[in-house]
Structure 1
């Protein structure tokens, strides 16, 4: 270390100021404008003072952050901007902007605005993903695929039914993000350092200029709380967990052993040595991104753990260290998932072939015995099991299951043959017949799935309107703030 090197400046303040300049410069000027307007309306600033402050903000916004020489001696972005403001307008006017607020509530405010905007972008991405998923599901309500439990063939389902299940998961992911948005979009400005101010400010007014839905009622809570960040990261972590699970399925289904799905060339890479390779690395990357979100979630919680409930650099600074990257990783995963769903191909013939031969229709055979005979399901289960296991051990498929095999087992269990026909067995072994019989709530029958998808589409439309309303309110507040500034500085528009 060279003599005189300031480690605090080099490793903490300089990186912090650079990050603030990149992410918060424009938002800080917006918060300044909203605060100045409120101070004017409450009679704390004169109109000529407000005009000078608002003009300064407009000019600095046009020039950009590079117009200021950012130095760590001034601690952070705000004090660098304020120093430039006072150099430009003088202390009497420039020094008045900070009346009735603190850096504590100012940074809490712009952090919430930044998070709010990124949550809205994530919500839009989620809506797009759900639109694609519903469309592909609607096209595949009769496309038979094997359903698995424990990675073993279980019962026949359809690709549309499988995607509908993910559609419900993505709905819950959206609702978690929406709940996080509601807790994020609350105004801290005017809370000052932790105890409010003796000036007659109007926190609701300043919040309305910034598009907030309400206030954080307690000033100490306003500067201390960053739990909304954990809400956001948790919502995104669950989303990437669900995306990871569908990618895990697809990862298996594109293998030659399953051959259920075909992945377009744009999503695969080759090998440096094996010319035949088509490596589905898009799934590997997307599944791996969950680790970034889990890391961010742990970082956020850990940064808040044991910190006194007041303003702290641990909560106002370190909580956000991994957050911005978490947003980027979430966007990448959601965009990739949408693209895969748009373009992946299902090998319908092979999927049906697999379902026909893997004994996944055996449960329906047992059900048919129960329907036609006065026996319990457990008894029917034992008959079918005794018929299937020898065939399975001989390497045969469900196509080898005949009435003769079943009657042989029935004689062991019931001491009498079954009262069903060969046609009953054939129908029970039909994968599509299996699916079509399951019309109960939550079943894979095409009409049941179609109804479910229709209801999901209606909820999707409602969620889209919700996001549109949020964006509309923010845009309206932006227009109101700009119109008032324009009238004060005497310009038609800014």
Structure 2
């Protein structure tokens, strides 16, 4: 028997085809995306071996020092040396460096829970990073919303101008929706914050591992209660991509509105030249392809989720390469795309210009006060609400037929419309002026959450509080992982890193 043998069941050398098509790409991916987690898991297990008396302090420290030396350049996929498997590559690296490797190192171990734990460590870090990016994005949104809360613009329902709103009101809605998705991502993180380590291949392990301690040393809130769930389930990956897909759907809708408002039919917004595009054939055009890119990339998030969902569907509930590796192939891509979407969208928001003249003109030339007129008829003339709606509609129709803009009220027309239905008002001119005045339309709204500037300011202030709460959550989760890894290193008497430990990218 040679030291290079890793299995007594099969020829230990995989075929060149398997190495090139499957094993080497998977190895490179895991080194790039999961290596910090793999090393942290190996260290935590060393600390447990030491507690259990399986290894003595000298052995644990020697193996720990070898693990501590691993970085992305240390490991190479080698079908002869390590079967192009990252776990075997780590094992080979340690046994080469340690003068007398302990025979009991890696006793009662499985790659199944090792891999599941490394994947979850990376996923938790990535979710925390996304939360931080989302909070940066909502801060940019909040800044623009605060300075545009008194600029009138048309709000649309069913693709038709409906009521007077402001960019600040609209952007406050964007901020609120993104914070909603951020809260859901933090909840997803905390639900998947369960440690698989100590579950073995599927049925548990023979040594009395302290799984609570292992979870703590790796920055998890608790161990996964079921050994089978720990190694078989990747529902956490589906839940994570589902949340990113939902977030992308919401962002796509806001991007659609900006695309519409930037079109030649409205020209409510503008972007600087370095975020804009041109037509190769129509020199008069100024395009906004960055918004198309944002909207297009949000589709990838839904696609990645469906890909992972189908990859797990109809598979046995056990540890499978099909589920643990193939079905999760695009998880890193999903995170990368979401970061790209947020960076691009944040750049758009930071440099977005709302054209106040175009927006006000659109408000002043459309009868956006029909709802207000109907309310006033009911409250001042006792016109039944549904009847008031009908009469307000008749006035608007008649004024349009006469070619009158909302800024030119026709009190005689209103008197005639009301008289035909058996009603009258004391001040028809004042009623019309108040109902169709663009600025009064903003101040008229009194309910919380409305477009009234003070209500927008209150909503933004509440979002500031929530943003700080979520930022504290992100800081706490990052610090928990950092302290856990540092505690493990102290238990093994390993030196503190010169800089922050690498995170999964």
Once the two structures are overlaid, the 10-residue window that deviates more, 351-360 or 390-399, is 390-399
Deviations 1:201-224 (A, max 9, x none): 111212222111111111111001
Match of 2:330 in 1: 322
Shift of residue 395, structure 1, vs aligned partner? 5.8
Any conservation in 2 of the 1:86–1:95 contact (CA below 8 Å)? no
Any conservation in 2 of the 1:366–1:384 contact (CA below 8 Å)? yes
Match of 2:94 in 1: 85
Any conservation in 1 of the 2:262–2:270 contact (CA below 8 Å)? yes
Once the two structures are overlaid, the 10-residue window that deviates more, 8-17 or 182-191, is 8-17
For 1:395 and 1:424, the matched residues in 2 are separated by: 20
What SS does the aligned partner of 1:399 have? coil
1:456 aligns with 2:463: yes
Match of 1:144 in 2: 152
Any conservation in 2 of the 1:70–1:77 contact (CA below 8 Å)? no
For 2:127 and 2:70, the matched residues in 1 are separated by: 27
Aligned ranges 1:101-116 → 2 under 5 Å: 101-116=109-124
Q: In structure 2, do the counterparts of structure 1 residues 350 and 112 end up closer, same or farther at CA, with 3 Å as the change threshold?
A: same
The structure that is helix-richer by fraction is 1
Shift of residue 492, structure 1, vs aligned partner? 7.2
For 1:42 and 1:403, the matched residues in 2 are separated by: 91
Q: Which consecutive segments of 4 or more residues in structure 1 shift more than 6 A?
A: none
For 2:296 and 2:111, the matched residues in 1 are separated by: 38
Match of 1:292 in 2: 300
Shift of residue 321, structure 1, vs aligned partner? 0.8
Shift of residue 69, structure 1, vs aligned partner? 5.1
Deviations 1:125-170 (A, max 9, x none): 0011111112222222211111100110101112111112222211
Any conservation in 1 of the 2:381–2:424 contact (CA below 8 Å)? no
Match of 1:338 in 2: 346
Q: Which runs of 5+ in 1 are unaligned?
A: none
User: Aligned-residue CA RMSD in angstroms?
Assistant: 2.1
Match of 1:49 in 2: 59
1:182 aligns with 2:200: no
What SS does the aligned partner of 2:207 have? coil
1:423 aligns with 2:433: no
Any conservation in 2 of the 1:300–1:319 contact (CA below 8 Å)? yes
Shift of residue 21, structure 1, vs aligned partner? 2.3
Deviations 1:394-439 (A, max 9, x none): 665323442122122223323x543333122111111221221111
What SS does the aligned partner of 2:195 have? coil
Shift of residue 349, structure 1, vs aligned partner? 2.1
Shift of residue 94, structure 1, vs aligned partner? 5.4
Shift of residue 328, structure 1, vs aligned partner? 0.8
What SS does the aligned partner of 1:266 have? helix
For 2:496 and 2:285, the matched residues in 1 are separated by: 63
1:71 aligns with 2:79: yes
Any conservation in 1 of the 2:486–2:496 contact (CA below 8 Å)? no
Q: In structure 2, do the counterparts of structure 1 residues 438 and 493 end up closer, same or farther at CA, with 3 Å as the change threshold?
A: closer
Match of 2:444 in 1: 437
Any conservation in 2 of the 1:32–1:97 contact (CA below 8 Å)? no
Match of 1:251 in 2: 259
Aligned ranges 1:61-460 → 2 under 5 Å: 61=71, 64-66=72-74, 68=76, 70-71=78-79, 74=83, 76-89=85-98, 93=101, 96-392=104-400, 396-414=404-422, 416-460=423-467
What SS does the aligned partner of 2:163 have? strand
Shift of residue 192, structure 1, vs aligned partner? 0.7
For 1:227 and 1:334, the matched residues in 2 are separated by: 25
For 1:87 and 1:162, the matched residues in 2 are separated by: 61
For 2:191 and 2:368, the matched residues in 1 are separated by: 46
Shift of residue 118, structure 1, vs aligned partner? 0.9
Any conservation in 1 of the 2:153–2:166 contact (CA below 8 Å)? yes
Q: In structure 2, do the counterparts of structure 1 residues 386 and 98 end up closer, same or farther at CA, with 3 Å as the change threshold?
A: same
Any conservation in 2 of the 1:123–1:177 contact (CA below 8 Å)? yes
Deviations 1:439-483 (A, max 9, x none): 113322122222222112111111111111111111211221222
Shift of residue 80, structure 1, vs aligned partner? 2.5
Q: In structure 2, do the counterparts of structure 1 residues 60 and 159 end up closer, same or farther at CA, with 3 Å as the change threshold?
A: closer
Deviations 1:166-202 (A, max 9, x none): 2221121001111111122221111110111111211
For 1:99 and 1:394, the matched residues in 2 are separated by: 90
For 1:492 and 1:377, the matched residues in 2 are separated by: 73
Q: In structure 2, do the counterparts of structure 1 residues 393 and 333 end up closer, same or farther at CA, with 3 Å as the change threshold?
A: farther
For 2:496 and 2:268, the matched residues in 1 are separated by: 61
For 1:492 and 1:189, the matched residues in 2 are separated by: 24
